[in-house]
Structure 1
Amino acid sequence: MAETIFAPWDDPTEKPLIRFRNVTKRFGAFTAIDDLTLDIFEREFFALLGPSGCGKTTMMRMLAGFETPSEGTIELAGQDIAAVPPNKRAVNMMFQSYALFPHLSVYDNIAFGLRRDSLPRADIDARVGEMLKLTRLEKFARRKPHQISGGQRQRVALARSLAKAPKLLLLDEPLGALDAKLRQATQFELMDIQEKTGTTFVIVTHDQEEAMTVASRVAVMDEGRVMQVATPERIYEAPESVYVADFIGDVNIVPGTARAVGDGLFQLNWAEDTVPFIAASEGAFSEGQACHLAIRPEKIAISAERPPEAENAVHGKVLDIAYLGNLSTYHVELPGGQVIKAQTANTRRISRRSFTWEDPVWVSWTKTAGVLLDQ
């Protein structure tokens, strides 16, 4: 039996767990969230991604109950949560600093919330045991936070947040304090734990790679507005604006004017005295409309001769080379002064590069390699 793909957002009969409806949040004259409407579904690992000050933490604080909307409503499981105090919501928040109690053992940190709810001791024991097992901390139960590593402290904070089985767990830059290698390992652990518990996770991050790794869907934010909500794959391959294309990964943005030349095909006039580029697009562009071609460096080939079959090919010279171990990125200057980045995988060990600085080269790509954007 084929595994069904998890995509409740594509199913009109699915009811969202969280609904933001026309939510605006102002602090004095400053608008932190601007008329935001958004659905998040049960069991989702949802990422709020954007630069500092874009409103993602304000959204999370409103879900947790630390802030209230100036306008609009936020529903959790069909209930307007505006009047529900933070400690009565089926929501838990894991902070960037972990906020562990330094004088309590790992076991007691995880048990803290359960004890406050006056649960029977046997139930607390069983639940903490489950959480220790889930986060692979059984051996460290008696240690204090300062006696374990940063990655382990992060797991204690997670275990404590999940101990009360919240409907929704909010994670505020949860991996910010970890080094790069540990972050990567922990991202997969987070995904694993989220899948095992079935809890809905909402993560706030400014790290695009993190969002793309862990999330079922990503909301890219800018200045209090959601610019696009989609799966990581769609955000990367089919961005709806230059802002989103530019925010995620590396991209070439070529401005120009459009001209229809066939069914779903457009010419992009990008510089005087140059051959126009050809791009396929499902969107409609009027004659002479200003637009941008967004094209990822890995979709651009670089060669010494003009490829005979190329749908788009342009001559230039190598300006810069960034060697990243697994990849090399060539910055190629075109006749009009524009610079295009082309990426090649370094599949063999290199004794010498195919191209070096100042070399004349051709860069080429297919008509479907880029996305034509009107904003």
Structure 2
Amino acid sequence: MAAAGKENVFAPWKDDAAVPLIRIDQVSKRFGDFTAIDKISLNIYPQEFFALLGPSGCGKTTLMRMLAGFEKPSGGVISIDGQDMVTVPPNKRAVNMMFQSYALFPHLSVWDNIAFGLRRDGLDKDRVAARVEEMLKLVQLGQFARRKPHQISGGQRQRVALARSLAKAPKLLLLDEPLGALDKKLRQETQFELMDIQEKTGTTFVIVTHDQEEAMTVASRVAVMDQGKLIQVETPQVIYEQPNSVYVADFIGDVNLIPGSVSELGGGAALAWAEGKPPLLGQPGASLAKGQNATFAIRPEKIAISAEEPQDRNNRVQGKILEIGYLGNLSTYHVELPEGPVIKCEVGNRSRVERRDFTWEDEVWLSWSDTAGLVLAR
């Protein structure tokens, strides 16, 4: 029995008995001599909100287009709900796709845009009307039903496109950079609306994005991609706190990277980084060996800054403040070490800016716990 006040955590990928909705098995896609997708294998489960994340050209959109049926794999198998999709055309798949441009019909009202696919399927008027009203209620646009797309805001058009995509109750909804056209504040608000709608409908969502914050906010799991390969597939927390490579650590959020070599391995890992300086201690990444080249990764918010040398931490370095950035809720300090690296740390602003403790050119100490950083193979 679960403890009072605690809910079961949604993690079907940890359950050996769970059956994936999508199976991607050794899938490749080549365009002439160029390999866009290189032998990817991946399972996505029912009711997941799954994110494909990576820079432009990494293959994420190509993988989504293969799920939709707009591209055929050069090798491997894609199955959805147990059915091999290789010979199934896009219009016969229980899949819908929402494009970044929304692709709404400008001459049709919000109501008619949502109804369009249902009418194409030959549903009777009463069923169409009931489903459209259900979708309007879901996306909270009932009062805008008779307006044309140009008469509503960008965020509202995004919700119309979402309602139209969900109206036919697909097993899988693909979202291609769906929030890219929105300004930052509206994009952040809409992220939570997307999560709420996905949870209410129980539809499996797969979102393609290059926006790390967006992927980390909405997704149950994130697949970080590069050059047609999956680099790491994990929950947002694991991706951020325990990246499996320097690439993932550097791509997700801010990170300080200090090169060196592994000097000790045991319960943790020690990285020799500067002659005559104590090694940096951190958690070991996979496949480390003593003496090999490695990189120490530490997030800026895990670093403390002080005027006096801290005596209670093994990881401590001294340097001079080069730059200060004021971001409202926090301040960032760029501290240059005599050994060469510039370290960034972030401090929450709990007092007014005129009471800042440090200023430019100050000599300061940076410190962090033995478990705050990671030693990663390069």
**TM-score (ref. length: structure 1):** 0.98
Segment drifting more, 270-279 vs 74-83: 270-279
- The aligned residue for residue 316 of structure 1 is 319
Aligned partner of 2:271 among 268, 272, 277: 268
Structure 1 partner of 2:181: 177
Match of 1:51 among 35, 48, 55: 55
* SS of the residue 1:256 aligns to: strand
Q: Contact 2:285–2:377 at 8 Å: present in 1 too?
A: no
Aligned ranges for residues 245-284 of structure 1 at < 5 Å?
245-260=249-264, 263-281=266-284, 283=286
Q: CA deviation at 1:281?
A: 2.5
Unpaired runs of at least 5, structure 2 = none
CA-to-aligned-CA distance 1:54-91 (integer Å, 9 cap, x gap)? 10000110000000000001010111101000000000
2:331 to 328, 331, 340: 328
> What are structure 1's unaligned runs of at least 5 residues?
none
Among 149, 152, 163, the alignment partner of 1:159 is 163
Letter in 1 for 2:373: G
Query: Cα RMSD between the aligned structures?
Result: 1.1
Q: Percent identity between the aligned chains?
A: 70
**Which residue number in structure 2 is paired with residue 210 of structure 1?**
214
Q: Residue type of the partner of 2:208?
A: V
Find the partner of 1:220 among 218, 224, 236.
224
Match for 1:358 among 335, 339, 361?
A: 361
Going from structure 1 to structure 2, the CA distance change for 1:320 and 1:184 (only over 3 Å counts) comes to same
| Aligned residue type for 1:155 | R
1:324-361 Cα distance to aligned partner (Å, 9 max, x none): 11111111111211111111100112223211111111
Runs of 4+ in 1 over 4 A off after TM superposition: none
Deviations 1:93-121, CA, capped at 9 Å, x for gaps: 00000000001111110000000010011
d(CA) in 1 for partners of 2:153, 2:285: 51
Residues 305-331 of structure 1: per-residue CA shift (max 9 Å, x gap): 111111211111111111111111111
Alignment match, 1:301: 304
1:151-190 Cα deviation digits (max 9, x unpaired): 1110000000000000000000000111111111100000
Q: Select the residue among 213, 231, 251 that pairs with 2:235.
A: 231
Q: 2:293 aligns with which of 271, 276, 290?
A: 290
For residue 106 of structure 1, the aligned residue among 83, 103, 110 is: 110
TM-score, length-scaled by structure 2: 0.97
Paired residues, number? 374
Corresponding residue SS for 1:102:
coil
SS for the counterpart of 1:351 is: helix
Aligned to 2:145, which of 141, 144, 150?
A: 141
